[in-house]
Every structure is written in C-alpha cells, then in structure tokens.
Amino acid sequence: VAVFLKNSKIAKKNKNQTQQLVIGTPTAMVHKTHVDTELKWTSCEGNDFEFKEKLGQGGYGAVYRAIHHSTGIECAIKTFGKGGMDLKEIKGEIEFLRKCNSPYIVQYYGCVEVRDNMWVLMDYCSRGAVADMLRYSPLTEGQIAAVCFPVLSGLKYLHSEGIIHRDMKCANILISAEGHPKIADFGVSIQDTTSGRADGAKMGTPLFMSPEILQSGKFNRLADVWSLGITAIEMAEMKPPRFKENILRAMYLICQAPPPRLKNEGEFSGNFVNFLECCLKKEAQDRKSCAELQEHPFITKAIPSFRRTILTMIEEKTRESEAHNEQAKEEIRAKRKNN
C-alpha cells in the first residue's frame, strides 16, 4: 500500500494503484513500504533513504540529514543502536512526538527498524539550532524576544497536553528553512500528573535545571519556565550562567544562591530584565506561566515583526559565519606562504 504521512495536503488517487491512505506528514512523501497506524514503517531495509550529512552526535547515537528517494523530500533521521539504548526511554520520546501536532514542535514522521538500528524520522530544520547562531556573537534583545515568542507558544502547547519538556536550551530550539523556531528533543520529557506535579529522575542539562528539580526531583511544568529564562540569558551572553563553574558547584549555586541575572544588566532594557525575573523565581509557584509570559511587554513588542526579525537574524548570522570562515582560510594561506 502506498502511503502519505500525516497532514498531507495532496492525496491523489491513481486508478492503476491501490488507494492511498492519508495518515501522516510530510506532504507528498509517498513510499512502497507499509506504515501502520502507529507510524511504524515495516519492510524497510533502509534503501528508501539516502543519508546526506551528519547533523549531530550524542550518547544515544547520531542525527543525519536524509533524502527520501521516491519524493526527494528532506528529513532528519535520529539513529539508535538497539544494543546500547534504553528502549523504554526511546519509546517514551517517540510517544511524546506522536502526540504533538503543533507548528512550534518538530514534527514526527515515523520510525523504522533497520537491522540492529532504530531510526526516528523527523522534520528537517535546515537553519540549525539557535545555539549555532551564538558561535561568534550573542543575539540582540529583539532577536531574543522573536525566538522566545514561538518557543512560549510551543511550551504552552506541550503543557496543555500534560507534557513537561525538561531540557529547554538553545541547542533544542531548531529553525526551519522558512524561519520557524521549533522545540526539539523529547529524550527526557515526562508526562505531568493530575496533581500538577511530577516525580522523576534528575535528568536534563544541569545548568538549565530549576532549583526544585535539583533539590527534590519534584517539579511541575513551571520548571520549563525557569529553563526558558536561562535559555534567554544564554542567547544574550552566548553561554548560560555559571558555565565556568565546576558542575557540582554550579548545581549547588542554582539551589542556594539568588537567581542568576545578566552580567551587564544596565546594558539591557527594563522589559527584558523583568521578563527574566518573571521566569527565574526560586519558588516555582512564583513564576509566570507561559500564557502569562506571552502577554509580557518584552514579548508583545516583538510579535508583529517576529518572523521578519528571525529571517534577518539568519541572514546576519550566515554572513558572520562566512566572514569568519574566509578569515580562517586567509590565515591558513598566510601560514602556508610563510612556511
């Protein structure tokens, strides 16, 4: 059976073929491999895809940009070796991705078991992560607000679905070719409980963790708000607070010291400083919710032009990277000439 993946806008019928079943994304991804209602691809030996480049590497495995042969559509494939992975954890991430249907969340296309590996197929965000844009310079306040607005929309959606992300940071905010920021990586996400609290292992990235996670492991969705505040400082200063500290010392300070602030606070607007204060309250119940933060002046001022701001940011960061690459080439040529 030929299959379109979820949300396809064109489900044409061919009189000479079996009727196609619309069950997933992206538009026009047609293949001859069976895909069940759980979006699990079967009878696939991996030949449906061509791996083009490696996008990243982690303890779990690697992420690649790949092309679906029959349509030419790009996707990101997260690979896991079955022998060394926690199947329960991977299935948990897949389950969270399957539940999400939001333009602010990286889209899940399905999973494939290929010999001793599992592939998770996802939306390919060609502009990379926000973290990549901090390589040579920080973001401006306007750019930070423009990124935070859709991220708040994504977190608000997740929280409405009872999902706590638990690992919000610049590396997990990806930007699509069209300039849409999207939340990615649900490897340590957890389902919120009906009581509004969740008990879980101390997982995530320590420098971005909220005090309550580090102290007791008991937390609710407002832990993501703390992480967003740290992420905003990361965008402003290129690194999260206390990144130079020994990790155990940093974790101690997160719990015991006052909330972090911008190093050169006087150089930033009062709206931005107050936005961070609303996110970085030591007591979770004192923090603003994502819905409330969307109404903050720091965010509302950015909303009318946030897409244009992000596209301009991409152009500026691309030129900046090209200039540094050209400078590096010139330095190499000069060294070779001198030698």
293 and 245: one domain?
yes
203 and 294: one domain?
yes
Of 31-35, 86-90, 240-244, the least confident? 31-35
> Is pLDDT larger for residue 26 or for residue 117?
117
**pLDDT (tens digit, 9 = 90+) per residue, 230-244?**
999 999 999 999 999
pLDDT at 198: 57
Encoded amino acid at 184, one letter:
A
pLDDT at 126: 94
The annotation places the binding site at 78
Of 21-35, 80-94, 281-295, the least confident? 21-35
The annotation places the binding site for ATP at 78
Of 14-18, 66-70, 158-162, 300-304, the least confident? 14-18
**pLDDT (tens digit, 9 = 90+) per residue, 325-335?**
888 777 777 77
CATH number at residue 59: 3.30.200.20
Euclidean distance between CA atoms 66 and 51, whole angstroms: 4
Note whether residue 50 is domain-resident. yes
Note whether residue 298 is domain-resident. yes
Range among 4-13, 60-69, 271-280 rated most confident:
271-280
145 and 263: one domain?
yes
Note whether residue 268 is domain-resident. yes
298 and 150: one domain?
yes
102 and 167: one domain?
no
Asked whether residue 18 carries a pLDDT value surpassing 50, the answer given is no
- Residue 77: count of CB within 10 angstroms of its CB: 24
pLDDT at 17: 40
Note whether residue 76 is domain-resident. yes
152 and 109: one domain?
no
157 and 198: one domain?
yes
What mean pLDDT comes out for the span 264-285? Answer: 97
Which of 122, 139, 155 finishes a domain?
122
Range of the domain at 146: 130-316
246 and 300: one domain?
yes
pLDDT at 199: 55
Are residues 149 and 83 in contact, defined by beta-carbon separation less than 8 angstroms? no
243 and 285: one domain?
yes
| Average pLDDT of the chain to the nearest whole number | 84
The confidence band for 22, taking pLDDT boundaries of 50, 70 and 90, is very low
Note whether residue 48 is domain-resident. yes
CA atoms within 13 A on the CB side of 89: 14
Note whether residue 242 is domain-resident. yes
Euclidean distance between CA atoms 193 and 197, whole angstroms: 6
pTM of the model: 0.83
Note whether residue 35 is domain-resident. yes
102 and 40: one domain?
yes
- Residue 338: count of CB within 10 angstroms of its CB: 6
CATH number at residue 262: 1.10.510.10
Of 43-52, 77-86, 188-197, 329-338, the least confident? 188-197
Closest CA to 155 of 179, 184, 120: 184
282 and 157: one domain?
yes
Are residues 158 and 100 in contact, defined by beta-carbon separation less than 8 angstroms? yes
Which of 96, 122, 148 finishes a domain?
122
What mean pLDDT comes out for the span 100-113? Answer: 91
Asked whether residue 131 carries a pLDDT value surpassing 90, the answer given is yes
pLDDT at 176: 95
pLDDT at 298: 98
Note whether residue 87 is domain-resident. yes
100 and 232: one domain?
no
Euclidean distance between CA atoms 268 and 51, whole angstroms: 44
Which of 94, 122, 150 finishes a domain?
122
Euclidean distance between CA atoms 158 and 178, whole angstroms: 22
> Is pLDDT larger for residue 58 or for residue 124?
124
For residue 167, indicate whether it is catalytic.
yes
Catalytic residue chosen out of the listed positions 48, 123, 167, 224 = 167
CA atoms within 13 A on the CB side of 116: 5
What is the count of structural domains for the chain?
2
Torsion of CA 53, 59, 61, 64, to 10 degrees: -20
